[in-house]
């Protein structure tokens, strides 16, 4: 009834799929669900790597017992203390009272803070190892991917990198576990959305970690705490995460607009038509009021062109657009070709905020900056066409 999945001779996936939670972290929509991945190594000593969200505690414990029977769990290795991965720790301590919890010093602070656990722990440092019998595990501290206590665990025997949240993605595992069992193109958007929404702020740390570990480890399999296990295209997922961490992009343009009465929308449509006439094939248009910011950020992370337009609201930028700008500023968005347009009636403000945004981020802003008082007339729409043309030229040059 409670199925584990065999990964190698004695390594098992004992995670769960969550298709009930609608919003991850009370922020990010989950239209395709999400998995919480936990892994079990059934050796002379039994090691469990990470746990699952407390909601799925019972089925999680049943999966463990289904693999090891009456054996005990000797070690619980905690790569990440966020509650979607640590939520079942107290239940595990009750089921296996002699179990030793392994983590770094910062892990222990979170362990006590969340669950009041101070005993039965073992602190490890970067490069420390434990032997399970056939398997030897090495721990690598990776702080700020994306919490300060995060670390990764490498199984030298099967050359599996248990990577915590790194290389993970949104989306439940619908009958599959491994990358060679699924359509990667279908899953890729949800993996990048996870990266852009949650991990991208720490892109430099991600890149440096990938650089460091790829030089010292021969990784045959990547097992994250969310999403598929990579056994055939491990280089692919590592390469993609590295590209995203460096903000390397595809050729295309995202247009995001905020419009109360349709005037800014008309300008957005004119810019989009100009982009198309000037050779841009990948164009995404979002109404910032009607598309969740999670999906907007994802496509902004994908493409090298970004054009933003907003109406003015009470002497300031339209509030949903301001939220998007702050989200992008916190993620240190850079390396984009940017365009700006906006509208107002009795008092401006939106375009000023967009200009301020363009000065804060490392993007190349194309001319003209277009601002319409009242409804856009022919002259304003001609400027919108000019903006689209100039962005298209820069995007193509930027992509060479």
Same domain assignment for residues 224 and 263: no
Same domain assignment for residues 191 and 215: yes
Same domain assignment for residues 137 and 40: yes
Same domain assignment for residues 224 and 342: no
> Domain holding 343: CATH number?
3.40.50.360
Last residue of a domain, one of 245, 262, 285: 245
Same domain assignment for residues 167 and 300: no
How many structural domains compose the chain? 2
**Prediction pTM value:** 0.95
Strand 23-24 relative to strand 28-29, pairing: antiparallel
Place of tokens 């199925």: 3
Instruction: Please give the full DSSP string across 218-277, using - where no structure is assigned.
Output: --SEEE-SSS-BBSS-HHHHHHHHHHHHTT--EEEEEEEEE-SSSHHHHHHHHHHHHHHH
Q: What is the pLDDT of residues 308-349, one digit of tens each?
A: 999 999 999 999 999 999 999 999 999 999 999 999 999 889
Same domain assignment for residues 189 and 99: yes
List the structure tokens of 165. Answer: 């949240």
- The helix (run of H) or strand (run of E) holding residue 18 is strand 16-18
Last residue of a domain, one of 245, 271, 298: 245
Same domain assignment for residues 222 and 270: no
- The helix (run of H) or strand (run of E) holding residue 62 is helix 57-68
Domain residues for the domain of 292 are 250-398
Tell me the β-bridge partners of 270: none
Same domain assignment for residues 156 and 137: yes
Checking if the pLDDT of 364 tops 90, the result is yes
Same domain assignment for residues 236 and 266: no
The percentage of the chain sitting over the pLDDT mark of 70, rounded to a whole number, equals 99
List the structure tokens of 295. Answer: 């999906």
Same domain assignment for residues 141 and 17: yes
Last residue of a domain, one of 193, 224, 245: 245
Same domain assignment for residues 287 and 236: no
> Domain holding 17: CATH number?
3.60.15.10
Q: What is the pLDDT of residues 254-308, one digit of tens each?
A: 999 999 999 999 999 999 999 999 999 999 999 999 999 999 999 999 999 999 9
Same domain assignment for residues 98 and 151: yes
The percentage of the chain sitting over the pLDDT mark of 90, rounded to a whole number, equals 96
Q: Are 39 and 11 in contact (CB under 8 A)?
A: yes
């Amino acid at each position: 009834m409670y199925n584990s999945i065999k990964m190698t001779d004695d390594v098992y996936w004992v995670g769960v799929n969550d298709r009930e939670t609608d919003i991850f972290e009370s922020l990010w929509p989950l239209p395709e669900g999400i998995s919480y991945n936990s892994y079990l190594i059934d050796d002379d000593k039994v090691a469990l790597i990470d746990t699952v969200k407390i909601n799925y505690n019972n089925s999680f414990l049943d999966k463990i017992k289904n693999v090891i029977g009456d054996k005990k769990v000797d070690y619980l290795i905690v790569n990440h203390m966020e509650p979607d991965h640590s939520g079942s720790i107290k239940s595990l301590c009750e089921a296996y009272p002699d179990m030793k919890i392994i983590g770094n010093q910062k892990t222990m602070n979170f362990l006590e803070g969340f669950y009041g656990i101070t005993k039965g722990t073992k602190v490890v440092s970067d490069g420390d190892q434990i032997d399970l019998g056939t398997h030897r595990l090495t721990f690598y501290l990776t702080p700020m991917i994306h919490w300060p206590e995060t670390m990764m665990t490498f199984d030298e025997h099967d050359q599996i990198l248990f990577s915590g949240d790194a290389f993970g993605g949104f989306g439940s595992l619908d009958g599959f576990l491994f990358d060679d069992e699924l359509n990667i193109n279908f899953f890729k958007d949800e993996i990048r959305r996870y990266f852009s929404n949650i991990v991208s702020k720490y892109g430099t740390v991600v890149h440096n970690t990938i650089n460091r570990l790829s030089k010292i480890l021969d990784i045959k399999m990547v097992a994250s705490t969310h999403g598929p296990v990579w056994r055939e295209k491990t280089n692919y997922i590592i390469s993609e995460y590295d590209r995203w961490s460096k903000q390397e992009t595809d050729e295309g343009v995202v247009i995001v607009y905020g419009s109360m009465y349709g005037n800014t929308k008309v300008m957005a449509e004119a810019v989009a038509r100009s982009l198309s006439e000037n050779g841009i094939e990948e164009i995404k248009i979002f109404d910032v009021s009607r598309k969740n910011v999670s999906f907007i950020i994802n496509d902004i992370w994908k493409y090298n062109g970004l054009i933003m337009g907003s109406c003015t609201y009470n002497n300031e930028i339209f509030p949903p657009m301001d939220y998007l700008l702050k989200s992008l500023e916190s993620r240190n968005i850079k390396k984009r070709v940017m365009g700006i347009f906006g509208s107002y009636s009795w008092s401006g403000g939106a375009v000023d905020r967009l200009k301020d945004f363009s000065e804060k981020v490392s993007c190349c802003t194309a001319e003209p900056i277009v601002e319409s008082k009242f409804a856009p007339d022919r002259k304003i729409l001609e400027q919108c066409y000019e903006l689209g043309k100039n962005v298209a030229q820069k995007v193509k040059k930027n992509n060479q």
